[in-house]
Amino acid sequence: MEHSSCISAGHFWPGIYKMGILDLLSKFKSKKEEASFEIDNCRFSVDDCNNRITVIMRDGTRNNAAEVLKNANDLRFIRFFICEEELRKPQFAPSLEEAIDWFFGKSYPNDGYRLTSWGKSSKMKCTFCESMVIFPFHIKKIERLTIYWQHIDLREIVGWRVSEVESEFGNGIPTKYFTIRGDHPVIKWDILRKKILCTRCAKQLEENDDRQN
Ligand SMILES: [Zn+2]
């Protein structure tokens, strides 16, 4: 094996590896709206991925992760995604910062392919009057996925994506559905035991409560 193909992926992201996750967290803590989130660390051997990970490389080519980890000299990528995911979730970015920016639609990867973003607010119908309620959410959890191949050396690619958000109405999973017009972002909210109230209905309920007491 050539020397260049034995370089571990860590060398390509010296910033991330040197800073460490705690440093990155405190960096984002300085911004108010992205205050605090958990990082979910997942690791997969590329041999267990069953060719379900597609990677878009820096030169724009698409390849499955096994092909990339076992044969590519340069492991730098623009993004990667899991094919046929039960719940279609965001794609993985090469850094935490990009994962957040792509999620909010603040920036997009420059690879010619489309990207879905979720923005910073969601909407649902009011339980009582059915008018639309728009409410903000923030990031609750980030998934950090390492796909590795242990051969002579350890070779790996590391990707980040937003995997859970939180709002006053509960927690949600960012997902998307597909139509002929493209991908549509949605948040799958876990709000079964809570009522969604518009300002008017909330005020009215409060007044009724006051009258009863
Ligand atoms: Zn209402």
Task: Give me the numbers of helices (H) and strands (E) for the chain, helices first please.
Answer: 4, 10
β-strand 53-57 against 62-64: which pairing, if any?
antiparallel
Exposure b/e, 176-206, CB count within 10 A at least 16 = b: beeeeeeeebbbebeeeeeebbbeebeeeee
Output the CA 135–ligand 1 centroid distance in Å: 14
DSSP label at residue 90: P
Provide the pLDDT confidence category of residue 35 given band limits of 50, 70 and 90: low
How far apart are the CA of 168 and the centre of ligand 1, in A?
Answer: 16
Enumerate residues with CB within 5 Å of ligand 1 (an ion): 126, 128-129, 198, 201
- Across the range 114-139, mean pLDDT stands at 93
Interstrand relation of 170-179 and 154-167 (parallel, antiparallel or unpaired): antiparallel
Q: Tell me: the pLDDT tens digits for 152-204? A: 889 999 999 999 999 988 999 999 988 888 889 999 998 766 788 899 998 99
Report the Cα 79 to chain-centroid distance in Å. Answer: 11
Give me ligand 1 centre to Cα 189, in Å: 19
Domain boundaries along the sequence of the chain? 4-121+138-192
Distance 123 CA to ligand 1 centre (A): 13
Q: How far apart are CA 79 and CA 87, in angstroms?
A: 18
HSE, CB side, 13 Å, CA atoms: give it for residue 153.
16
Q: Is the model's pLDDT at 130 over the cut of 50?
A: yes
When the pLDDT of each residue in the chain is averaged and rounded to a whole number, the result is 83
Percent of the chain with pLDDT over 90: 60
